[in-house]
Amino acid sequence: MDERLRVLVVDDHDVVHWGFRLLLERQSWVESCAAATNGREALAQAERLRPHVALVDLFLQGESGAEVSEELRREHPEMRILLISGAGRISPAVARAAGASGFVSKDWGAADVVRAVRMVALGQEVFARAPDSSGANLTEREREVIALIAQGNTNAEIAKELYLSPHTVKEHTSSIYRKLGVRNRAEAVKAAQRLGLIT
């Protein structure tokens, strides 16, 4: 690609998005780099600047980065998305369903993150290896739990239905969140639906 790229960084931590901006603006292949702290700002910046690629934090304050990714791709289908996180994980299947072409960890070195941004912008996929983060790795019991969560059952009701202790249900729920790369019940249900684990 001869064209220099416009990049959008979506992160709710000032130090992080300013750091990424400084890092990316030093690259010869970057034309400009803008920042947003939430989904609303990201959509506004995308409309104004028409970035080629967006680097989106998986966990924004009060928002899911995957949902922001979906909104950006819905409004700008030509844009490429790279999800990033310092704590959580997301499976490649869930990331793709959200419109992203990759996921990397903030633990990666600066040069590796920059390389991933460029690769995604050029139409490639980049996924950090996270073997335990795939929704396909849910155990049979975890699938039963997420199905009952989707029906609106509380942990206590799930425990009664499956003849488990509430503590065990809580452990299964935490494991589901980790594997699906989500933070709460609503996000878990959406991710499971995308993966076809529930209908």
- Structural domains of the chain, ranges and CATH numbers in brackets: 5-132 (3.40.50.2300), 134-194 (1.10.10.10)
AA letter at 13:
H
* CA 146 to chain centroid: 19
165 pLDDT tier (thresholds 50, 70, 90): very high
If one compares 75 and 128, the residue with the highest pLDDT of the two is 75
d(CA 92, CA 130): 9
Block residue for tokens 């070195």: 109
pLDDT of 105 reads 83
If one compares 136 and 93, the residue with the highest pLDDT of the two is 93
d(CA 52, CA 55): 10
130 pLDDT tier (thresholds 50, 70, 90): very low
Model-wide pTM > 0.85: no
In the sheet with 5-10, reading across from the earlier edge strand, the strands are 30-36, 5-10, 53-57, 80-85, 102-105, 126-127
Strand locations in the chain (E): 5-10, 30-36, 53-57, 59-60, 63-64, 80-85, 102-105, 126-127
106 closest CA partner among 61, 71, 64, 55: 55
Q: What percent of the chain has pLDDT over 70?
A: 93
AA letter at 63:
E
